[in-house]
Amino acid sequence: MRFFFAAQMAWQGVVINPLRSGLTVLGVAIGVASVVSLMGIGEGARLAVVRQFESLGSNVIVIKAHDAKAEFMPEEAEELLERVSGLKYASPVVRTNAVMRWRRARGQVEIIGVSSDFPELRDHRLVSGRFFTKWHVEQRSPVAVLGYNIGAGLLGGRSPVGQTLTLNGQTYRIVGVLEKKGPGQAESIDDKVVIPYTTALKIAGKKTVDELWVKAESAKAADLAIAHLGRIYRRKLGFDVTAPKPGGGEQQQMPGKEGAEKPVETLPAPQPEDHRKEEKPALELGKDIITITNLNTLVEEADKANRVMTLLLGGIAAVSLLVGGLGIMNIMLVAVTERTGEIGVRRALGAKRFDLLLQFLMEAFYLSGMGAATGTALGIWGVNLFNRYGFNAVISAEAVRVAVFVALGCGLLFGVYPAWTAASVPPVEALRR
Amino acid sequence: MELLELRGISKEYRSGRGTVKALSDINLSVKRGEFVSIMGPSGSGKSTLLNVIGCLDRPSTGEYFLDGMKVDRVSDDKLSEIRNRYIGFVFQNFHLLQGLDALGNVELPLIYRGIGSAERKRRAKEALEAVGLSDRIHHRPSELSGGEQQRVAIARALVQEPLLVLADEPTGSLDSRTGRAIMELFQKLNTERGITVVMVTHDRDMARYGRRIVRLLDGRIKEEEFIG
Ligand SMILES: Nc1ncnc2c1ncn2[C@@H]1O[C@H](COP(=O)(O)OP(=O)(O)O)[C@@H](O)[C@H]1O
Ligand SMILES: [Mg+2]
């Protein structure tokens, strides 16, 4: 009963000065809207990066040689499958270019040479035909699987499987077309031609490869495999593997000549578990001969960086939310001063301190509540607006929840002091004004 | 039967420059159904006395009995309840809430008594009728004349069915004709409903509507005059 009346009277307080209430509500709304939309942008960016990394395939480890002398024999990929437990698929990788001819058209295309494990390894599916087989690889067959864009371009959407094209003058049979991954996804595979690595080595005129891919059964297996692979390649490059080193780190570097002269020093001393993750990929060191990278880790790191960014944006927006909350406090304090007479009358007529506390608190609550509601609507509208201008913002339920919660919290928090002030004015004092 | 009994009441205000003695050693009794006028020059303590009587303020020393209850030392919330049940207020500048219409203003005391909407409205309309404002129920204070606003304030006091109505210069903001009409209304409440009225005024003519005039000077009762 009491609450109901307080709520009613608080509402009268809101509507009696629509302009002022409106501006206060707007202040809160802007705060909520900026939290919702800025966090939306941050979250959208994070999801985009995560999606991009995920398109690379899960639990994939990339072993890369940065020095011609350290390059791998293609057979090593198969050997790793046997030596390292927890690995399921493996492929050497040959990257090269070729002139492609299709009927009368010709042009440069990027070629990627891989084993028949490729679709499983990098999580690819085919829209038509099938992938080349182990047999094709062994036979160095002139067969090609086309990236989606290339495959779709040839016959205007009809499947080109069974047709032939030429690469550097040699005729290849098209056996399959990969499913679309999207622009920039999965190393832009949509615009590449995939052929057996044996055939690709012929085109490139090489015997060794500078890149190996392996896929582990699980994220945990990938972590263990990284450690094992680290030991294998350390030994291969002639390091003392028994020397202390960062165990199953996500990424391991084998220092080159300069480092080799004092191998133990160049390897970081053992560190506590949680510090290991802080290790920076040492690609920029230039001295590294071989890097072993767990793509899962890249996803995690990108994710972490973007989370920080989202929080940062949210933090900036939270400031405006706080300002909105202070606006409520300001307006309520003004109301208390301005309406001292009203407070006095109510007290004279029998209102208790608690009644006034409740009334003014509810008034603040209404203002913040309306602010939160309009702000959420405004934020959703803002996200859509951003997206029209090329952002990938998303409406995150979490952001809305946080913003609304903070807005209502601010309303109550900043409403308490003015409400308490209102309730504390002695009736005689109040009536004198 | 004494409705009000003040024994040795004094009130001091402490301010930066020292203490101001607004009331000193006031002894005053008012019987049920009386109509008392309080007169005195400005600053003589009339409003302070009325506020103490109205339980809006506590005396510094002395004892105050209202309808037999000792109320000079009760809690803030209890005083609110006492005001709500026993005392109706009428002020010089009406003190109506601008955001509410006449009916809303008259309903207010009943809201704090926890009475439901339908009952409240019925009683508020009755009270407005009693002061002759049935046709102004939905007017806001800004749409009413001074006399009409004071009638709304009186209706707001009436609706409480109080034992006591306290009026602090109720005609101070009105012209003399309207003022007399308001005074007649007080007189009617006093005689017809037996409501005790204590009124502050510095207008002799208005004071004579009461049956007794109490004169204050410098916070003390200077003299009392009974009107035959
Ligand atoms: N809150 C207060 N603080 C300090 N002095 C006050 C306060 N209220 C009243 N007074 C003083 O008490 C005296 C009586 O005031 P008041 O009762 O308002 O007089 P009246 O109503 O007769 O004009 C005056 O001198 C006034 O200045
Ligand atoms: Mg006065």
For the stretch A178-207, pLDDT in tens is 999 888 777 889 999 999 999 999 999 999
B interface with A, Cβ–Cβ < 8 A, is: 51, 54, 56-57, 76-77, 80-81, 83-85, 89, 91, 95-100, 108-109, 111-114, 156, 160
Q: Where does the pLDDT of residue A239 fall: very low under 50, low under 70, confident under 90, or very high at 90 and above?
A: low
Give residue A251's pLDDT.
56
Q: Where does the pLDDT of residue A241 fall: very low under 50, low under 70, confident under 90, or very high at 90 and above?
A: very low
Last residue within a domain, chosen from A209, A235, A267: A209
Q: What is the pLDDT of residues B39-52, one digit of tens each?
A: 999 999 999 999 99
Q: Is residue A168 predicted with pLDDT exceeding 60?
A: yes
- The reply to whether A148 and A199 lie within a common domain is yes
In percent, how much of chain A has pLDDT > 90?
Answer: 34
Q: Where does the pLDDT of residue A282 fall: very low under 50, low under 70, confident under 90, or very high at 90 and above?
A: very low
Ligand 1 centre and the CA of A347: distance in Å? 20
Give residue A165's pLDDT.
93
Partner B contacted by A250 (CB < 8 A)? no
Ligand 2 centre and the CA of B43: distance in Å? 7
- The reply to whether A411 and A356 lie within a common domain is yes
Interatomic CA distance for residues B124 and B127, integer angstroms? 5
Q: Where does the pLDDT of residue B22 fall: very low under 50, low under 70, confident under 90, or very high at 90 and above?
A: very high
Q: Where does the pLDDT of residue A277 fall: very low under 50, low under 70, confident under 90, or very high at 90 and above?
A: very low
Give residue A353's pLDDT.
92
Give residue B1's pLDDT.
76
Contact A345 B56 (CB under 8 A): no
The answer to the question of residue B11 being in a domain is no
The answer to the question of residue A219 being in a domain is no
Interatomic CA distance for residues A1 and A364, integer angstroms? 20
From the list A140, A135, A165, A162, the residue with the least C-alpha distance to A150 is A165
Angle between helices B146-158 and B102-112 (to 10 degrees): 30
- The reply to whether A407 and A313 lie within a common domain is yes
Q: Report whether A360 contacts A332 (CB < 8 A).
A: yes
Q: Report whether A248 contacts A224 (CB < 8 A).
A: yes
Q: Is residue B147 predicted with pLDDT exceeding 50?
A: yes
The answer to the question of residue A60 being in a domain is no
Last residue within a domain, chosen from A209, A236, A268: A209
* pLDDT, average across residues A287-308: 80
- The reply to whether A320 and A200 lie within a common domain is no
- The reply to whether A179 and A92 lie within a common domain is yes
Partner residue facing A349 (CB), from B77, B99, B108: B108
Give residue A265's pLDDT.
28
Contact A342 B97 (CB under 8 A): yes
Tokens of B140: 């806001």
Q: Is residue A250 predicted with pLDDT exceeding 80?
A: no
The answer to the question of residue A57 being in a domain is no
Give residue A141's pLDDT.
93
If you average pLDDT over every residue of chain B, what do you get? 94
Give residue A157's pLDDT.
76
Instruction: Describe the strand order of the beta sheet including B87-90 as a list of residue ranges.
Output: B87-90, B164-168, B196-200, B35-39, B212-217, B220-226
Give residue A253's pLDDT.
59
The answer to the question of residue A259 being in a domain is no
Angle between helices B117-130 and B102-112 (to 10 degrees): 120
Interatomic CA distance for residues B188 and B158, integer angstroms? 12
Helix (H, G, I), strand (E, B) or coil at B58: coil
- The reply to whether A22 and A93 lie within a common domain is no
Give residue B3's pLDDT.
94
The answer to the question of residue A221 being in a domain is no
Partner residue facing A428 (CB), from B57, B85, B99: B57
CB contacts, 8 Å: A350 with chain B: 80-81, 83-85, 109, 112-113
- The reply to whether A40 and A139 lie within a common domain is no
Query: Which neighbouring-strand residues pair with A143?
Result: A173
* pLDDT, average across residues A276-288: 42
Which of B13, B23, B38, B199, when mutated, tests ligand 1's pocket best, judged by the most ligand atoms within 8 Å of its CB?
Answer: B13
Query: Which neighbouring-strand residues pair with B167?
Result: B90, B199
* pLDDT, average across residues A155-162: 87
The answer to the question of residue B92 being in a domain is yes
The answer to the question of residue B177 being in a domain is yes
Measured between CA atoms, the residue of chain A closest to residue B95 is A345
Q: Is residue B6 predicted with pLDDT exceeding 80?
A: yes
CA distances from A293 to A31, A64, A210 (A): 42, 8, 14
Considering only residues A288 and A255, tell me which one the structure prediction assigns the higher pLDDT: A288
Which of B11, B19, B38, B47, when mutated, tests ligand 1's pocket best, judged by the most ligand atoms within 8 Å of its CB?
Answer: B47
The answer to the question of residue B149 being in a domain is yes
Q: What is the pLDDT of residues A348-384, one digit of tens each?
A: 999 999 999 999 999 989 999 999 999 999 999 999 9
If you average pLDDT over every residue of chain A, what do you get? 83
CA distances from A56 to A118, A186, A346 (A): 12, 5, 69
Residue with CA closest to ligand 1 atom 1: B13
Give residue A1's pLDDT.
67
Range of the domain at B151: 32-55+81-226
Give residue A262's pLDDT.
31
The answer to the question of residue B188 being in a domain is yes
Q: What is the ipTM of this complex?
A: 0.95
Q: Is residue A5 predicted with pLDDT exceeding 90?
A: no
From the list A9, A44, A363, A62, the residue with the least C-alpha distance to A226 is A62
The answer to the question of residue A31 being in a domain is yes
Handedness of CA A6, A12, A17, A21 (dihedral sign): positive
Residue with CA closest to ligand 1 atom 14: B45
Q: Is residue B105 predicted with pLDDT exceeding 80?
A: yes
The answer to the question of residue A258 being in a domain is no
Residue with CA closest to ligand 1 atom 13: B22
Q: What is the pLDDT of residues A10-67, one digit of tens each?
A: 888 888 888 989 998 998 899 889 888 888 888 888 888 777 777 777 889 999 988 8
Q: Report whether A50 contacts A299 (CB < 8 A).
A: yes
Range of the domain at A192: 73-209
CA distances from A52 to A45, A187, A383, B67 (A): 11, 9, 21, 83
- The reply to whether A89 and A44 lie within a common domain is no
A62-66, A255-259, B23-27, B97-101, range with greatest mean pLDDT = B23-27
Contact A350 B77 (CB under 8 A): no
Give residue A287's pLDDT.
57
Give residue A235's pLDDT.
83
A55-64, A313-322, B187-196, B219-228, range with greatest mean pLDDT = B187-196
The answer to the question of residue B17 being in a domain is no
The answer to the question of residue A380 being in a domain is yes
In percent, how much of chain B has pLDDT > 90?
Answer: 91
Interatomic CA distance for residues A65 and A85, integer angstroms? 22
In ligand 1, the atom with minimum distance to the C-alpha of B14 is 4
Interatomic CA distance for residues A180 and A125, integer angstroms? 9
Last residue within a domain, chosen from A169, A185, A209: A209
Measured between CA atoms, the residue of chain A closest to residue B57 is A428
pTM value surpassing 0.95 = no
The CATH number of the domain holding residue B131 is: 3.40.50.300
How many domains does the structure of chain A reveal?
2
CB contacts, 8 Å: B160 with chain A: 349
Rg (CA), chain B: 17
How many domains does the structure of chain B reveal?
1
Give residue A320's pLDDT.
83
